[in-house]
Amino acid sequence: MSTHTAEPLATVEIAKTLGLLPEEFEKIKQILGRVPNFTELSVYSVMWSEHCSYKNSIKYLKTLPRKGSRLLVEAGEENAGLVDIGNGLACAFKIESHNHPSAIEPYQGAATGVGGIHRDIFTMGARPIASLNSLRFGSLESAKTRHLLKGVVHGIGGYGNAFGVPTVAGEVYFDECYEVNPLVNAMSVGIVHANKTVSATSHGAGNSVYIVGSATGKDGIHGATFASEEITEDSADKLPSVQVGDPFQEKLLLEATLELIELDAIIGMQDMGAAGITCSTCEMSAKGEHGMRIDLDKVPTRQQNMRPFEILLSESQERMLIVVKPGREADIQAVYDKWDVSCVKIGEVTEGGLIEYYMHGELVAQVPAESLVLGGGAPVYDREFREPAYFQEYQQFSIDSVQQPADLKAVGLFLAAQPNIASKRWVYRQYDSMVGLNNLQTNHPSDAAVIRLTESDKSLAVTVDCNSRYVNVDPYKGAAIAVCEAARNIVCTGAEPVAITNCLNFGNPYNPEVYWQFVNAIKGMGDACRKLETPVTGGNVSFYNQSSDSGPVFPTPTIGMLGILDKPAHHTTLNFKADGNLIYLLGDSKNDINSSEYLVRWHNETKSSGPFFSLEAEAHLQKGVLTIIKEGLLQSAHDISEGGLFINLLESAMAGGLGFNITTDANFRTDAYLFGEAQSRVVVTITPAQQAAFEQRAGALGLPFRALGTVTANTDLTINGTNWGPLSQFDEAYNTALENIMEGDKMP
């Protein structure tokens, strides 16, 4: 082949600097039948990075359940999962990470994470209707953590609010393990008519290839490689790897693209995310079993004299690649001109599987598309794994080693103000949650966000969940709990869980103990998904969340879950409704405080196994709760999670402006009963008139239940005959804790 005169042949040393292993360099030479030049090696370096190829994870990802009666595409087939929700509609949804960029430049890192995940949704033809996020930071005692939190929240709000999609739900956790490596996971949910979806494919020799959206700059170059290495002291020097977002440009791109889809003028379309033009040209070509000729000098750029590899690897935001049907070029141009969005032809589809990149008429790189992509020629590894020494040590913990406090009210107040439990209103007040007016969560709080569909009588229930401490102490159990907790939240709204997307955040896969965590978390997730019949639609793997100083973060397999609420009458909220309503606990209590916020924060004990969990019991409980909800027997439902039964009751009381009077079970330690986090438990309320019917139905369904007490008009909290004080005292602690810290007043 002829090569660009400025393109030297690559060496194994250059390959190493680009993140490729020596054996991978040799494999590239075999594929090409020659030594690659620098541009070609750059292309392989990003496409074979962990971020793009999943080379260290795909073997185990393939073990997850990826088929289901509602799935319209299997995991990995398209940019996002696609679920049939009835009435001719489908839901596209996906979660992805933007961890490393957010650690270096929190505002733009988080903002472009939001923008990127929304593009994955609307390039499939779906209009984004909801945004969620899952965030992890270090201790709030750290000025760095507070700086990162402010920047990330500002970035999410700044992009999402301007783009016009409501942020409806999320979670924020704090632990010292995230001090160097914060986690920023963004999820988007969109709606599309099932017969109007767009595929990320390319075919038809001679068909035109267009780049649309923003001009290409030097921001984000080697961003995929940057995401596939550990954070170090030198990472700040890689600030150009962080992309810069423009939500207003993305809004124009969205509206133009959805209008374009109505014309039925395109063959395929893909967002330019990680690896930019390289990824979109290669993946679309490989899927369509064709090639492309791309003229890089025709790509609109923001800087002069950009080199071929810079144009190819740039991750500038708000860009997409489109393959146009024959004779429809003018139609495409007219739509994007109308919306004042750049639309430029940069190449055409070719026969065969070669991607040829030209610069001013000279061939600068020639690579087989199939050799670059996941599921094609990209390498696949099965790394060594080893059970960590701490695992068996943590299994030895006994509740008998912990003395029960004399003043349990003090514990309750303390827990209510803990950052992992307390209200996150300082965060969510910076987000627009009401744009579109279909978020039912604002006025009707429930365990998952509920979004009304304007073209159907159905609603969607969505949530994100993962208690990473549980996963750290027992990856199999913890990942299964993450799936079940998400499903339990969906069920408590009255919706049926139908599918998940996941964002798998782990340390360095070359660390055998980290890889052991990953392998066992995948097994736990898979078993839970199979049991609950919630297949995996796709997601993201983020390795290398680790530093030499602080070690790996807690393994954090974040679960984004979708549920379908068939009828508005089934929508169930968590708030107490009326004086005299009866409070019941569904599920079995345990003498268990393992890995609870109570054990970790009050007793400073971090070495315990995960909380009690039974997958069989969980599935049985969820099925029973959903049945009772649909039969109209419940006034409220709220699952027990962080903080245990007491925090559950407190949240329902605060949401309803009512108090409660309950009695604990003398068969269990009072602290375990109130603050333990044993799984598979839900608190419900009923009217006195419903009592007989409720107890009969719960018994018939085989659901363990126990009457706890009553909702009270006076707002005092009474437990075992002792008045713990007014609701307002706990409300103040719960609702002001985080904002007091962030506004510099005091630590709890």
pLDDT tens digits for 105-116? 999 999 999 999
pLDDT at 52 over 50: yes
Kind and range of the H or E element at 536? Answer: strand 536-542
Q: In Å, what is the CA distance from 633 to each residue of 69, 367, 587, 661, 713?
A: 29, 63, 17, 21, 21
Model pTM greater than 0.75?
yes
Question: Which of 184-193, 213-222, 306-315 is the least confident region?
Answer: 213-222
CA distance 198 to 269: 7
pLDDT of residue 455: 83
DSSP label at residue 405? P
Summarised one tens digit per residue, pLDDT across range 414-435 is 999 999 999 999 999 998 766 6
The tens digit of pLDDT for each residue in 207-255 reads 999 999 999 998 767 544 444 455 555 544 444 556 677 899 999 999 9
Query: What is the pLDDT averaged over residues 60-81?
Result: 90
Nearest CA among 373, 182, 339 for reference residue 248: 339
- The arithmetic mean of pLDDT across residues 129-156, rounded, is 96
Count of Cβ atoms closer than 10 Å to residue 347 Cβ? 25
Q: What is the pLDDT of residues 484-493, one digit of tens each?
A: 999 999 999 9
Q: What is the 3-state secondary structure (H, E, C) of 142-171?
A: CHHHHHHHHHHHHHHHHHHHHHCCCEEEEE
Residue range 619-639: mean pLDDT, rounded = 98
Q: Quick one: pLDDT at residue 230?
A: 54
What pLDDT does 697 receive? 98
Give 743's pLDDT tier (boundaries 50, 70, 90). confident
User: pLDDT at residue 578 above 80?
Assistant: yes
pLDDT of residue 239: 43
The DSSP result for 224-264, as a single string, is: HHHTTS---TTGGGGGGGS----HHHHHHHHHHHHHHHHTT
pLDDT of the residue at 227: 46
Q: How confident is the model at residue 554 (pLDDT cuts 50, 70, 90)?
A: very high
Average pLDDT score over residue span 682-705? 98
Buried-state track 260-281, b at ≥16 Cβ within 10 A, e below 16: bbeeebbbbbbbbbbbbbbbbb
> How sure is the predictor about 441, in pLDDT bands with cuts at 50, 70 and 90?
low
Confidence of residue 748 (pLDDT cuts 50, 70, 90): very low
pLDDT at 368 over 70: yes
For residue 383, pLDDT beyond 60: yes
Tell me the average pLDDT across 506-510. 96
Beta strand 319-324 with 496-505: parallel, antiparallel or unpaired?
unpaired
- The total number of residues shown for the chain amounts to 748
Tally helices (H) and strands (E) across the chain: 25, 26
Kindly tell me if the per-residue pLDDT of 520 is higher than 90.
yes
Q: What is the dihedral of CA 149, 151, 154, 158, to 10 degrees?
A: -140
State percent of the chain over pLDDT 90.
Answer: 85
Predicted local distance difference test score (pLDDT) of residue 416: 98
The single residue listed with the structure tokens 């943590």 is: 394
Give the mean model confidence (pLDDT) for residues 309-331: 94
Residue 439, pLDDT > 60, answer no
- Reply yes or no on whether the pLDDT at 4 is more than 60: no
Tell whether the model's pLDDT for residue 8 goes beyond 80: no
Sequence-distant (≥ 6) Cβ neighbours of residue 237 within 8 angstroms: none
Residue 745: the pLDDT is 44
Cβ-based neighbours of 109, under 8 Å, separated by 6 or more = 98, 100, 101, 102, 103, 151, 152, 155, 184, 242
Tell me the mean pLDDT in the region 558-583: 97
Q: Which helix (H) or strand (E) holds 14?
A: helix 12-17
Q: Which residues are part of the catalytic machinery?
A: 51, 98
